[in-house]
Structure 1
């Protein structure tokens, strides 16, 4: 049976992966806070990464962990780089020693957002903020090691748990009468469960020998919902579809430019990623962002 080491089980994607990967093999879940001391992994400490991987001896490492506090990363660049940039390279080194493969998740924030058409895997990265720079460093660290790997770039991740835009909007709708949301940043909100299920669908095609399968398909793939929207339009859809809308205090939703909502980290204005490559390579059909939102809200 394939042994899968899942890193980052408390995150949005990692939580969903615990369920979707179960049908593919034996899943060993690790993180900073897990009941088994020997499986506690601190991504800022490379020694703990190496120790856990050598104990588990997986044939596949799925890294769903990351430093995701985009604004806070501006004031903690060293920690963000250790977790997002250095740790993935350490995982890749250990995986190569075991003859294992790696699946790693990255982000649309590796791009500057100056395009007006969806970014492809061939477009040159040019991150605007520390978070994007550290995630790009993680991609490059894995690519520098000659081993079977998939790097899956996703965007605007949300779900029914953790910290994300959906849950923030649902909370604020019950607390405020007026809410302002940025309307000049465009992207495709992507449900964490869709990411996890798509990952499992890809892996199911190579169960006989996952490292060999990853090796023959190695590279970067965009993995996001289809369709596009702005944060403002996304918020409007959330409020309209919320089955608990009768509990909203919200009376007015205002669309504002990014200049009226300054943040420590600059965001790309255009974050759409083309999913043509992943669809062609694996026959994967990603859901439209609006349809996924309906599922998350139980419609």
Structure 2
């Protein structure tokens, strides 16, 4: 399925910057992604998620990939792209659509691709994005803004067929209990292990292993700015140890986890509204990957 390639055009109306000293960025976490607005420069990452970047002022950002560079005011970055983002001194929006999101499969065909989009496509949300960046948009409104941005992005992508119900069931089982082994999952949907791995990749647009890693990162994200040690967060989320957790977090988010789990005045992170649980997932043993152990 072909993606839509449209030149980046100018301009949206300028978005005002905060008039007073403030953190250089604001992050709002939702269950299946996040919305960030602020400065973003020199960040290298390779994410399982799909990303949409949008300049908040009439200036382009740069995305550097191996052997290529894209300068744009709005862009889609598909899953798995190893990139370095340079926004300079101009604020940008980063919209993360992770593999557990119901619309992720629409973005999955962009695997490995980076495409310039027209910034005007998102013009109707410019005021809300400005309010979010300034910190004047509440939690419920920020949730709604995230959903609106995703819906607008999906409008530029080809439609996808319904997911195979067996894969949907495996996703449900993993969300309920990350400790399920691959054999248990295969038995639950009457498939062999090999066929389940193949079918999941084809239908979900991501491997079963990476999907499970995403669930672990989501479990860890619940404890952002809650004063829980990274060692404990790693154990709760099901990582082998804190070193493995730190490596996976930095690879996906571009920053070491202490930038998120230790309170600081650089990034304002909205409180996570859903409940936390200080229990390890049932069936997960310390020091091993429960799915592939």
Q: Which TM-score applies when normalising by structure 2?
A: 0.28
Q: Which has the higher helix share?
A: 1
Q: Which TM-score applies when normalising by structure 1?
A: 0.27
